[in-house]
Amino acid sequence: MFDLFSSPGRDWSFIVKGEAGDQLMHPYIVARSCGGFQAANGLWVKPDYDFGDCPQPDVVCIPDFFVNPGESVAGKYDPEARWLKQAHEAGAMLASACSGAVLLGEAGFLTNCDATIHWGYVATLTNNYPGVRVRVDRSLVLSGERIVMAGGGSSWQDLALYLIARFVGLKEALEVAKVYMLEWHDMGQLPFASLMSFRQTGDAVINRCQEWLAMNYRTNTPVAAMVSLSGIPERSFIRRFAKASGMTPLNYVHALRIEEAKQMLETTDLPVEAVANETGYEDASFFGRLFRRETGLTPARYRLRFGSLRRALQRR
């Protein structure tokens, strides 16, 4: 991100004319102290300013940082939260990438607001900030006044391009995208978010049902079969399953089937109708609508994007 913000006005001219232009953005690193520190990936970071001597920024970008999914960080980042509020009150736009959204929550910006974060950290927001609505279907979310968030992975690139377009210009943002060969993540995080559904629970009965379903998801009446396997009344089973997994049994069945369908679309040349049948759906049209609702992509587009990626990587 630091490189992208340093690029507008400078790099396009260098690439096409052989002479660097005037740099139009000037990023710098701020932390609670100027003492250097080692990031979680081992990279050494030396801040340019601490919170006390930092010039007023136009934009503050909060990068991802290491936090356990679902865990509260209350009280651990009070200096950062105070500085973020001060910068925002003075007119700065606040932006976060991936788990950086947690610091927006600590500063009080996420209550009853739309937000996004890496799909693996959704619970970190929903468990700790009242009323937050996490949108994993979007790579960027604008929320409140001068707040913008990017999801996980490389969606920080979308964030950087958005900020360049807003504060410098659309032409410059497009030039940066061309120089760095960036692609907009229009599909959001939906293709990956359902993976969080399959974590084991602390309920042995529900775990046994989940393990059975993993081998028998093609059956015509999987929920009724799990009810029978559990040995408890249907209504009690549905409540207990939802409490343990965060999903109704039927939604869990659909999520598991969709994951299996993804694997087939990535690794085989089976027609979409055959993939639907293999995962328990006799109606290919229903399967297509469900797949698109859950992933944001049609089965054919999913295969085109991820199947070709898998084949390319296998050749290396």
Q: Note down pLDDT in tens along the chain; length 316 residues.
A: 999 999 999 999 999 889 999 999 999 999 999 988 998 889 999 999 999 999 999 999 999 988 888 888 999 999 999 999 999 999 999 999 999 999 999 999 998 999 999 888 888 899 899 899 998 877 889 887 899 999 887 889 989 999 999 999 988 998 998 899 887 766 566 666 655 555 556 789 999 999 899 899 999 999 999 999 999 999 999 999 988 888 899 999 999 999 899 889 988 889 999 999 999 999 999 999 999 988 888 999 888 877 776 666 565 5
For residue 196, give both structure tokens: 């969080």
Q: Which of 188, 212, 231 is the last residue of a domain?
A: 188
- Domain co-membership, 84 together with 217: no
pLDDT at 314: 61
Identify whether residues 180 and 265 lie together within a single domain: no
156 and 203 both lie in a single domain: no
Distances (CA, A) of 81 to 132, 147, 227: 17, 14, 47
Q: Are strands 147-150 and 49-50 parallel, antiparallel or unpaired?
A: unpaired
Structure tokens at 146: 């001068």
pTM (2 d.p.) = 0.70
Task: Name the residue among 7, 30, 294, 43 with its Cα closest to residue 179.
Answer: 7
Q: How many domains does the chain have?
A: 2
Same domain flag for 132 and 218: no
Instruction: Please say whether the beta carbons of 82 and 94 come within 8 A.
Output: no
172 and 239, same domain (yes or no): no
Output the domain CATH number for residue 298.
1.10.10.60
Cα–Cα distance measured from residue 229 to residue 196, given in angstroms and rounded to the nearest whole number:
24
Same domain for 217 and 287, yes or no, is yes
301 in the same domain as 255: yes
Domain boundary among 188, 207, 235: 188
Residues 159 and 34 in one domain: yes
Please tell me whether residues 179 and 229 are part of one structural domain.
no
Shared domain check, 169 and 238: no
Same domain for 67 and 175, yes or no, is yes
User: Residue 242 belongs to what domain range?
Assistant: 192-314
Query: CATH no. for residue 73?
Result: 3.40.50.880
Measure the CA–CA gap between 210 and 202, rounded to whole angstroms.
Answer: 12
**Which of 59, 64, 62, 74 lies closest to 39 in space, CA to CA?**
64
Q: Are residue 155 and residue 242 in the same domain, yes or no?
A: no
Of 146, 171, 188, the position where a domain reaches its end is: 188
